[in-house]
Amino acid sequence: MRMLAATASLLVVLTGCADFSNTTAADTGWHRPPQLTPEQAPQPRNEGPPVAGEKPPQEIPPPDGCHDHDPAVIATCLDTVSAVAAITGTAAPTALAGERHSGRVLLVQRGQRPKEIADLDVTATGGGGLTGLALSPTYTEDQLVFAYITTPRDNRVVRFAPGQPPQAVVTGIPKGATGNRGVLTTDPTGAVLVATGNAGHPRAAADPSSLAGKVLRIDTSGNPAPGNPGDSRVIADGLHSPGGLCTSADGSRTWVTDRAGDADALYQVTPGDGLGSAVWTWPDKPGVAGCAAATRGVTIATSIAGNLQFLPLDRRGSVTGEPTVALDGESGYGRLSGLSVLTPAVAVGGTVNRDGGSPVSSDDRVVLLPILPKGGGGKD
């Protein structure tokens, strides 16, 4: 189940708050990736990690139990991998994988057995559970991880380090019969971005007193990040059920995918201006999920259609053509969810085939996916 795509040549590179100023990471023998600085950057290699689509489908045998012969697959036999967070600067492709139903967070690395680093108490109803992961902006020093979870009382953002219990960062995000999914990312300034569902109440997304259906921009303690309009945590509103949140490498643009009743959509987030009009809509509702911003567009994973879609954009952020579809049908991995950028050309993705799809013996999996379609994508 694979399709031709570009490969990479180099591994480089959340209504309460809590005070974590004294929180430190536990000494658990966790392997810290080397800290990268302008003076200590990874050295270029001639070969990069195998990426989905590098070999014709007939060259890759089907999975044998939990053993997957596809070199782009770095973890198998997990349970509904709704969230991923790529870890850069390691010798082999490495990421954190979050299971929506169980709340487990696992360290996965090519050639190694998955290692559980956290077991979060979640309630996986109404599309919720564990649906978002993001590394602390200072992860190499503090090993802290942010997660978006559903509890019996609310949706919330927590943070944890290996060997430590999770601590609340943002609580009181409304919970409902539907619309509980939320997603996370960070921006180049070190702020944490949070997209929240509307908890099944579309009017709540426009209510300034509610955290439902919003995009938040916070610091690592849950307070409004510096530079937010009106010193508010909320920078945009109007979401229904967000699937993915991503920023460009230079931080100039932020994108969020959303699933509404009539169509799926991609929005550009402009702090203080709401979501405005969608950049692109999908009336066929493929189940837009994680996204990865590239220099000439945005790549979007889908969890119903089960493919990758690259939407070409120009330098102004305007659409220049229809999405290019990759890894579709028999050439793909089935239903996809979270995406997290590993290199400028490669993202880590999770599959959710055990959540309503057609799983194979090695599902659910963590796989390396191309960010750009073959040929490079949109126009300048």
Q: Are strands 346-351 and 254-259 parallel, antiparallel or unpaired?
A: unpaired
| Percentage of the residues of the chain whose pLDDT score is greater than 70 | 84
Q: What is the pLDDT of residue 48?
A: 63
Range from 191-205, 252-266, 300-314, 362-376 carrying the lowest mean pLDDT:
362-376
Question: Other C-beta atoms within 10 Å of 190: how many?
Answer: 13
| Percentage of the residues of the chain whose pLDDT score is greater than 90 | 75
Q: What is the pLDDT of residue 58?
A: 62
User: Taking residues 81-90, what's their average pLDDT?
Assistant: 96
Which H or E element spans position 293? strand 288-294
Q: How many domains does the chain have?
A: 1
Q: What is the pLDDT of residue 316?
A: 83
Angstrom distance (rounded) from CA 329 to CA 311: 19
Residue 52 falls inside a structural domain = no
pLDDT bucket at 107, cuts 50 / 70 / 90: very high
Q: What is the pLDDT of residue 100?
A: 98
pLDDT bucket at 250, cuts 50 / 70 / 90: confident
Q: Are 96 and 113 in contact (CB under 8 A)?
A: no
Question: Residue 161 corresponds to which tokens in the numbers above?
Answer: 């380090």
Q: Are 86 and 340 in contact (CB under 8 A)?
A: yes
Among 4-13, 158-167, 309-318, top mean pLDDT goes to: 158-167
Q: What is the pLDDT of residue 56?
A: 58
Dihedral (Cα; 231, 318, 286, 256), 10-degree rounding:
-10
Residue 23 falls inside a structural domain = no
Angstrom distance (rounded) from CA 78 to CA 329: 21
User: Taking residues 15-24, what's their average pLDDT?
Assistant: 36
Angstrom distance (rounded) from CA 91 to CA 93: 7
Residue 51 falls inside a structural domain = no
Q: Which residue has the higher pLDDT, 377 or 208?
A: 208
pLDDT tens column, 317-336: 889 999 999 999 888 999 99
Question: Does position 174 have pLDDT exceeding 80, yes or no?
Answer: yes
DSSP 200: T
Residue 296 falls inside a structural domain = yes
User: Taking residues 254-264, what's their average pLDDT?
Assistant: 96
What CATH number is given to the structural domain containing 217?
2.120.10.30
Angstrom distance (rounded) from CA 362 to CA 357: 13
Q: Rounded mean pLDDT of the chain? A: 86
Residue 7 falls inside a structural domain = no
* 37 Cβ contact list (under 8 Å, min separation 6): none
pLDDT tens column, 131-154: 999 999 999 999 999 999 999 999
* 317 Cβ contact list (under 8 Å, min separation 6): 253, 268, 279
pLDDT tens column, 196-222: 999 999 999 999 999 999 999 999 999
pLDDT tens column, 30-77: 333 333 333 333 333 334 677 776 655 568 899 999 999 999 999 999
Q: What is the pLDDT of residue 2?
A: 41
pLDDT tens column, 114-135: 999 999 999 999 999 999 999 9
pLDDT tens column, 88-97: 999 999 999 9
Q: Which residue has the higher pLDDT, 10 or 127?
A: 127
Residue 27 falls inside a structural domain = no
Q: What is the pLDDT of residue 251?
A: 87
Question: Does position 29 have pLDDT exceeding 70, yes or no?
Answer: no
Range of the domain at 108: 57-370
Order of strands, edge to edge, in the sheet holding 308-312? Answer: 288-294, 297-302, 308-312, 324-326
Using DSSP, state whether 204 is helix, strand or coil. helix
User: Taking residues 363-372, what's their average pLDDT?
Assistant: 95
Dihedral (Cα; 188, 191, 192, 196), 10-degree rounding:
-110
Q: What is the pLDDT of residue 329?
A: 86
Least Cα distance to 66 among 113, 116, 107 occurs for: 113
Q: Provide the greatest CA pair distance for the chain.
A: 56
Q: Give the up-direction half-sphere exposure of residue 210: CA atoms within 13 A in the CB hemisphere.
A: 22
Residue 4 falls inside a structural domain = no
Residue pointed to by tokens 């089907």: 62
Question: Does position 9 have pLDDT exceeding 70, yes or no?
Answer: no
Residue 267 falls inside a structural domain = yes
Rg of the chain's alpha carbons, rounded to an integer?
19
Q: How many helices (H) and strands (E) does the chain have?
A: 1, 24
Question: Does position 12 have pLDDT exceeding 60, yes or no?
Answer: no
Q: What is the pLDDT of residue 57?
A: 56
Q: Is the peptide bond before 284 cis (omega within 30 degrees of 0)?
A: no
Q: Are 333 and 1 in contact (CB under 8 A)?
A: yes
Angstrom distance (rounded) from CA 52 to CA 274: 36
